[in-house]
Amino acid sequence: MRPRPVILFVFAYGAGLSTGLLRFGDPAGVSLALLALGFWGRSHLLGLLAAAALVGRLSGDLARERERTECAATLPAGRVELVGVLEEPADSAGGGTVVLPRRAGCGGTVEARWPARHPLPAGATVTLAAQWIPRPPGIGRADGILVVDSIRAVTPGGGAAARLRTWLTEGIHALYGARAPIVEALVLNRRATMDATLRDQYAQSGLVHLLSISGFHVGLLAGWVFLIARALLSRERALLLAALVSVSYVAFLGWPPPATRAAALTLLAAASQVRQRRVEPDALLAVTCLLVLLVDPWALLDLGAWLSAAALWGATTFARWSDRRLGSGFGWRTLAASVGATLATAPLTASVLGTVSLIGIALNFVAIPLAAWAVPGVLASLLLLPIGHAAAAAMAAGAGMALAGLDGLARLGAAVPGGHLLVPAEWSSAVPWVAVLAIALWGLRRTTVSVALLRWSLGGAAMIWIVTALWWAPLSADAGSTLTLHFLSVGQGDGAVLRTPGGHWVVIDAGPRSDHDDAGRRIVVPFLRRQGARRVSAVVVSHAHADHLGGVRAVLDQFPVDLVLEPGELVPDPLYLSFLDEVAAVSAPWKAGRPGDRFELDSVTFTLLHPDPAWPEWGDDLNEDSIVLLVRYRDFEALFPGDAGWHAESLMAGQVGGVDLLKVGHHGSRTATGDAWLDELHPRAAVISVGASNRYGHPAPETLARLAAHEVSVWRTDREGDVIVTSDGRTMTVRGRRGSESYSTH
């Protein structure tokens, strides 16, 4: 069936917009090509689509030009002093907020990390000193984080919206206490203050959609307003009032793309009902997506907007078939909508987030009714607060029980074996889920239930054979008497996985973790799953910095671990303390590594050379206290020095001797991998684990020059991707994007 023109129009507009946002092609050349296509097109539809693409292109170019003047793109990296207005209240516990810089010669807001013990209301004008850390450039708009060090002056102020935000935040904390972060997510679209573990559990259980203000929340709000207004107004006026309240609420939130789409959908649906117009779901969805792009062109590159639109399309598509073939009862409709939303979003979550949650299909039967009571209960408690605290507290207690149920469901879903699948966060991970979605849609296409089941069975059987073949390939590829070292491309951090000849696995660091990413969950765990690993013999943490330690927790969550080895230097860092809690929770044997410690797996020996708490500089610098690990298999030797620099290298002088492979210390920092160290090690090849366009300037030109002077072949994860080293104990082969090279051992 041919798509409706409005759907084609939106696709054409989005295609043109993407070329502008991504700087694809010369603006004048692309515009002229689209003009020519529209002029010489033989149909009115082709001309309309060319015009839509041209308007989209111009909109993308304008958005890019505006971005150049935004503070996120113009603030210099490093120390800054500026005057700004708090767009959101700053909590006494610190955490995230949003700052609108003033008199900085730029526009737009920036995310800020606020220091503890400095609570301020929204709307306050502050003079502050901070560190601006831009994020590496990507396909999206410029971004970064403003880490505030000190506040010099504060001027109270702010309009009605700012005062309302402050009042709501204070009321939420007064009524809900420890549950305030999840309430802020449900009402104010703020997830920065949520516990990271709980947020991960919602994602792993497939319930994260409940924390994002999108169609579900806006629909609930509109539904309750309609029910209340219907007692006083006509049906048409109640519908319009519900839609207007929804739009006003989304405007108060700042027009986040998923909520904007939902508000537009509510308004258009209400208008259609009032005018007694038949609504075509896919066309209506396309129009709402177009409205979102008109409000914010950058929503085209916003994952939340894509997930929201895909989930609604999948839910409505599958629910329509279910209504026709299975009935319109709550059970069948919920099942069909959950399956449709999960399959429609799976290619996106697999390729971008590295996870697909299937357990959410079952949990939604309980979670959706709970949320349907919790969200109105929360809103009612806040509305009652000005009238009387006792009534508001009573309502909050009831809503709190529903919220506790949601938290319990999230924890339960995250703990179910196989409930969520971890895959590499790359485009190829979307391929099997696109195939599954195609098979599911094939089953829905003009069929009875029996024919649909037959089609799904045939498609499922074909998928099983394909998955079996792909699963078997890596298991047989590394078989034999070969040691394999995988230096994974985890960004600005270290993450290496070793497979011994007998099939034992050792993880040496697991990449960085932040509020926005977890290399362990996104890269390391999927890699181990793909390779057929069932347990990990040892996890070696070089030191307690986030770019090495961050992803380890995901490994501990997903695999039994026989030994955890780390320097044992107690640091008052929440990430390190949560790592120790996780080690205790999974009952993994833990040991503080010391020089001379040694273990052996399949004739591969692992020997620790550093750190020694007795050395004079112990505790001065975590980098210098990194575990330095020597891996030996027959005549092959590889050295992993973590982030140890010149001081640690001088301490170990004369203790190592020649090695075949060197993992370059501290990502190629200028103060590591000195000439004396290279003179002693004389490695054949070196691997630098480093992120592209990192703000530290790694690897340093001086370090690269030293490696070149010692005739060391350098392999970098920012250029090569994953670097794979194999050795039979006599020779060594290194593979990356540029090809492979073989070396004899010392």
The length of the chain, given as a count of residues: 746
Q: Minimal CA–CA distance to 535: which of 568, 565, 499, 510?
A: 499
Cα Rg of the chain, angstroms = 28
Q: For position 725, what pLDDT does the model report? A: 96
The CATH fold of domain 478-737: Metallo-beta-lactamase; Chain A (3.60.15)
By CB atoms closer than 10 A (0-12, 13-18, 19+), residue 27 is: middle
Q: For position 607, what pLDDT does the model report? A: 94
Sequence-distant (6+) residues with CB within 8 A of 83 are 101, 102, 103, 104, 125, 126, 127, 128
Q: For position 435, what pLDDT does the model report? A: 92
Q: For position 655, what pLDDT does the model report? A: 87
Rounded Cα distance between 607 and 615, Å, is: 19
Rounded Cα distance between 713 and 705, Å, is: 12
3-state secondary structure (DSSP) of residue 145: strand
Let me know if domain 71-158 sits in CATH 2.20.25: no
Task: Check the CA dihedral 418-420-421-422 and report its sign.
Answer: negative
Q: For position 43, what pLDDT does the model report? A: 59
Q: For position 313, what pLDDT does the model report? A: 92
Rounded Cα distance between 583 and 563, Å, is: 10
Q: For position 34, what pLDDT does the model report? A: 60
CB burial readout 675-693, b (16+ within 10 A) else e: eebbebbebbbbbbbbbee
Q: Residue 202, CB half-sphere, CA atoms under 13 Å: how many?
A: 21
By CB atoms closer than 10 A (0-12, 13-18, 19+), residue 327 is: exposed
Q: At what angle do helices 27-40 and 5-21 cross, to 10 degrees?
A: 160
The stretches in the chain having pLDDT less than 70 are 1-2, 25-43, 136-139, 191-193, 196, 424, 470-480, 515
CB 232 within 8 Å of CB 253: no
Q: Is the peptide bond before 474 cis (omega within 30 degrees of 0)?
A: no
Element (H, E) at 133: strand 125-134
CB 656 within 8 Å of CB 454: no
Report how far Cα 59 is from the mean position of its chain's Cα atoms: 28
Q: For position 673, what pLDDT does the model report? A: 92
Rounded Cα distance between 369 and 724, Å, is: 49
Q: For position 29, what pLDDT does the model report? A: 64
Q: What's the pTM?
A: 0.74
Q: Minimal CA–CA distance to 312: which of 261, 365, 361?
A: 261
Please state the domain extents for the chain.
Answer: 5-67, 71-158, 181-301+360-415, 478-737
By CB atoms closer than 10 A (0-12, 13-18, 19+), residue 156 is: exposed
Q: For position 339, what pLDDT does the model report? A: 92
Q: At what angle do helices 360-384 and 389-415 cross, to 10 degrees?
A: 170
Rounded Cα distance between 392 and 346, Å, is: 40
Rounded Cα distance between 415 and 389, Å, is: 38
Phi, psi of 323 (to 5 degrees): -60, -40
Q: For position 2, what pLDDT does the model report? A: 65
Q: For position 189, what pLDDT does the model report? A: 80
Q: Could you identify the residue written with the tokens 């519908």?
A: 239
Phi, psi of 272 (to 5 degrees): -65, -40
CB burial readout 723-744, b (16+ within 10 A) else e: bbbbbbbeebbbbbeeeeeebe
CB 192 within 8 Å of CB 169: no
3-state secondary structure (DSSP) of residue 1: coil
Q: For position 192, what pLDDT does the model report? A: 62
By CB atoms closer than 10 A (0-12, 13-18, 19+), residue 634 is: middle
